[in-house]
Chain A
């Protein structure tokens, strides 16, 4: 019994370890103290007001100079990149998953192993390899190179997510559809797609979140002028730690939670 209690205590501490740092950031994003952000000095929304360009009582020295415009520029870049990358990766990953799951061909097993590679390749290796590649073939670093670079490994994430779902959808249902006269395209639209939609949606959300968060690969292939949100914060951190980051971090947290909650909601709706 003592062992069990100890285990429960340990488990609770584990969750404290996981969540306390994140909560700390959220709490201190409302701290009014502009000099020492670790000392609680009353509640304020000023850090958020500052981010949205509203009137605040903050002095210049408490904030990063010019950071607001750059911040929103970075958010914009991140959203464009994440949307393009996630859509492209979802199409490619789903197509590969369908091919491997629904057709008999010699290379199917090979593909399954191969699709693991981009996921386990260390970020930095893939990042510099892509950098060398783009420079060598004379492709200017741009938003395009970020989209291409991120897609190389995000396709794998979608592939895995959709494959897992495909394994649960009985192939005989698709055969029944063909048997009743539906062309492959009709079968896909009316039977396969509704069946694997949660997997595709899940894969897409996953790709979107990972793309929004990717730092290492983007860092090497972004070039100048294409700062994404993680790279922007990375830059801020190098310039010093100011309470504003708390507010940015909290907003990002909120954004992620909304997407994760949406993903879970769609999943639970399907299972009914």
Chain B
């Protein structure tokens, strides 16, 4: 046996089984979902193997005019999900950026411990963390009791089951996603550059805008993308904190599978989410590549 052949055999031994597994159980399902999104829903759930583009039509504007008219409700839900995800990203940035900056200026031992503390909740059960916010936000909850105790409000305010609660909840559970990329780029900041900037007469705000912000932009973009992606397709947070009032695309997809039993339509919705995610990732990849070249 030649040396090259021997190495090839070892390589196949390592790659073979996992590759087959992922091809079958990761790409297989995605492919079948793509196929389903072009099929006709069966009468009693399931599918009829008849090609149909109306699953996408229902969402994007060409409905089957015989049985139903085009209803912009689906695209509205999708746009609303985009908006909530974007607001979550914004809120996460506001929460995490100053904190990351603060931690990056600590002495090394403290710094590592602080980062550990920030990432630790990621390992705490998601459902537990959301439950905690239910306790805080509900009418008899901590927040309302506090507000009423201070006399700021007479009657309990409805926090739970609002957009606010959903954005707050998603911001909270995705903190490590935003924090770590941000921290990564803030840590690399050269303090000498900041000093040089103020030495050359820039105010603090100017220094931030002209030196710090551009230098940490990769972290901002990276953190935003990986926060936006799980926020967009999320259905747990809106289910727990948004109740029936705040419907996101994730909830809509779930309904198609578990109550409406319209799998092709649900598949089409899922394809929409996946496309949005892929477009975003490709855009970010292009951007970072361009930046690396510059």
Whether A260 pairs with B123 at a CB distance below 8 angstroms is yes
Q: What 0/1 readout, one digit per residue, does chain A (103-131) give for beta carbons within 8 Å of chain B?
A: 10100000100000110111111101111
Q: Does B90 make an interface contact (CB < 8 A)? A: no
Q: Would you call A256 an interface residue if the criterion is a C-beta within 8 Å of the partner chain's C-beta atoms? A: yes
Minimum distance in angstroms from B110 CB to a CB of chain A = 11
Residue in contact with A11 in the complex, picked from B15, B103, B140, CB distance below 8 Å? B103
Contact residues on A (Cβ < 8 Å of other chain), bracket: 35 or more
A136 at the interface (CB under 8 A from B): yes
Chain B min CB distance to A263 (Å): 9
Which residue, of B32, B131, B133, B254, has the highest number of chain A Cβ atoms within 10 A?
B131
> Given A130-B29, A133-B28, A237-B240, A99 and B11 touching (CB < 8 A)?
yes
A122 contact from B19, B132, B230, Cβ within 8 A: B230
Quick check: A17 and B95 within 8 Å, CB to CB? yes
A155 to B267, CA, bound (A): 25
Could you tell me the distance in whole angstroms from the C-beta of B99 to the nearest C-beta in chain A? 4
Which of A14, A111, A125 is most buried by chain B, counting CB atoms within 10 A of its CB?
A: A125
Would you call B253 and A249 a contact (CB within 8 A)?
Answer: no
**With an 8 A cutoff between CB atoms, is A54 at the interface?**
no
Comparing A62-70, A169-177, A212-220, the segment that makes contact with chain B is A212-220
Chain A positions within 8 Å of B184 at CB level: none
Q: Size class of B's contact patch?
A: 35 or more
A123 / chain B contacts, CB cutoff of 8 Å: 230, 233
The answer to whether B7 touches A103 (Cβ under 8 A) is yes
Measured in the bound complex, the distance between the Cα atoms of B91 and A14 in whole Å is 13
CB of B70 closer than 8 Å to a CB of A: no
Within A1-31, which residues are at the interface with B (CB < 8 Å)?
3, 7-8, 10-11, 14-15, 17-19, 21-22, 24-25, 28
Q: Are A131 and B257 in contact (CB under 8 A)?
A: yes
CB distance from B137 to the nearest CB of A (A): 10
B14–A125 CB distance below 8 A: no
B117 touching A18 by the CB < 8 A rule? yes
- B124 contacts the other chain (Cβ, under 8 Å)? yes
Name the residue on A nearest B19 (C-beta).
A96
A147 to chain B, nearest CB (A): 10
Question: Does B136 lie within 8 Å of A24, measured CB to CB?
Answer: yes
Would you call B236 and A215 a contact (CB within 8 A)?
Answer: yes
- Interface readout for B251-294 with A: 1 if CB under 8 Å, 0 if not? 00110010000010011001001100100010000000000000
B-facing residues in A46-87 (Cβ within 8 Å):
none
Q: Report B104-144 residues with CB < 8 Å from chain A CB.
A: 116-118, 120-121, 123-129, 131-136, 138, 140-142
The answer on a CB contact under 8 Å between A241 and B134 is yes
For A8, A19, A126, the residue with the greatest tally of chain B CB atoms inside 10 Å of its CB is A126
- Does A191 touch B at the CB level, under 8 Å? no
Cβ contacts under 8 Å, B129 to chain A: 21-22
Please, how many angstroms separate the alpha-carbon atoms of A198 and B117 in the complex?
A: 21
In the docked arrangement, what's the CA distance between A115 and B15, Å? 12
A21-B254 in contact (CB<8A): no
Bound-state CA distance A230–B17 (Å) is 30
- B window 1-56: CB within 8 A of A: 7, 10-11, 14-15, 17-19, 21-22, 25-26, 28-30, 32-33, 36
Chain B min CB distance to A26 (Å)? 9
Residues from chain B with Cβ under 8 Å of A45 in the complex: none
User: Is B167 interfacial (CB-CB < 8 Å)?
Assistant: no
**Given A92-B18, A98-B14, A122-B274, are A38 and B32 also a contact pair (CB < 8 Å)?**
no
A125 touches B270 (CB 8 A): yes
Other-chain contact of A256, B125, B136, B270 (Cβ < 8 Å): B125
* Contact residue among B17, B29, B121, B141 (Cβ-Cβ distance under 8 Å from A38): B141
Assembly CA distance A256 to B233 (angstroms): 26
Q: Which residue in B11, B120, B235 is a CB contact (below 8 Å) of A216? A: B235
- B contact residues around A14 at 8 Å (CB): 95-96, 98-99, 102
* Contact across chains for A11 and B102 when beta carbons are under 8 A apart: yes
Q: Can you sample 20 A-B contacts with CB below 8 Å?
A: A11-B102, A18-B117, A21-B132, A22-B132, A92-B17, A96-B15, A96-B19, A118-B22, A120-B229, A122-B230, A124-B270, A125-B233, A125-B270, A132-B267, A133-B29, A151-B25, A155-B18, A213-B127, A230-B126, A260-B123
- Chain B residues near A (Cβ < 8 Å): 7, 10-11, 14-15, 17-19, 21-22, 25-26, 28-30, 32-33, 36, 95-96, 98-99, 101-103, 116-118, 120-121, 123-129, 131-136, 138, 140-142, 145, 172, 175, 204, 226, 229-230, 232-236, 240, 250, 253-254, 257, 263, 266-267, 270, 273-274, 277, 281
Residues of A at the B interface (CB closer than 8 Å) are 3, 7-8, 10-11, 14-15, 17-19, 21-22, 24-25, 28, 36-38, 92-93, 95-96, 98-99, 103, 105, 111, 117-118, 120-126, 128-133, 136, 148-149, 151-153, 155, 184, 209, 212-213, 215-216, 220, 229-230, 233-234, 237, 241, 245, 249, 252-253, 256-257, 259-260, 264
Q: A155-B18, A241-B135 are known; give 11 further A-B pairs, CB within 8 A.
A: A7-B98, A11-B103, A18-B121, A21-B172, A28-B135, A92-B18, A120-B277, A122-B277, A131-B257, A213-B123, A249-B131
